[in-house]
């Protein structure tokens, strides 16, 4: 298995940084690619391989400023894979970061947490501008 999965962010693709060794999985930025399946197929395949021999604890950090409907389905798929890990007795945590002034993003995180039976943290943040 590839120990690390990295995708550099683009205007419509979030940064992805998954480490099999540490169990730290990060997705950050905006997600609205024209073909979400081709962009995220390798992410889902990596998670399937990772599940065969996961780290002691797996933490998925989602810090998305914006995502479209097609991306929301992929996010659900990723969260279902976290739920499978959890149901197989692995320690898991999802950290849902949302801009404090974005009620929709906060509510979306709460809706995901109701569907997926995995420990979930909701963390509001403020944009810092230099």
Task: Write the pLDDT tens digit of every residue in 27-38.
Answer: 999 999 999 999
Residue 2: pLDDT band with limits 50, 70, 90: confident
| pLDDT at 14 exceeding the cut of 90 | yes
Q: Which domains does the chain have, with CATH numbers?
A: 4-125 (3.30.750.24)
The HSE-up count of residue 127 (CA atoms within 13 Å, CB side) is 7
**CA distance to 1, 16, 25, 39, 89, per residue, from 62 (Å):** 23, 10, 9, 17, 22
**CA distance to 28, 50, 100, 101, 106, per residue, from 125 (Å):** 13, 30, 5, 9, 11
Measured CA to CA, the distance from residue 75 to residue 89 in angstroms comes to 22
pLDDT in tens, 90-103: 999 999 999 999 99
């Amino acid at each position: 298995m590839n120990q690390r999965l990295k995708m550099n962010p683009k205007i419509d693709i979030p940064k992805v940084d998954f480490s099999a060794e540490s169990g730290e999985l990060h997705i950050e930025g905006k997600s609205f690619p024209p073909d979400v399946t081709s962009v995220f197929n390798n992410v889902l395949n990596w998670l399937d391989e990772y599940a065969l021999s996961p780290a002691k604890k797996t933490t998925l950090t989602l810090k998305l400023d914006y995502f479209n409907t097609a991306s929301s389905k992929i996010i659900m798929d990723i969260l279902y894979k976290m739920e499978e890990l959890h149901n197989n007795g692995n320690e898991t945590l999802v950290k849902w970061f949302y801009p404090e002034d974005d009620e929709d993003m906060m509510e979306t995180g709460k809706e995901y947490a109701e569907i997926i039976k995995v420990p979930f943290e909701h963390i509001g943040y403020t944009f810092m501008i230099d």
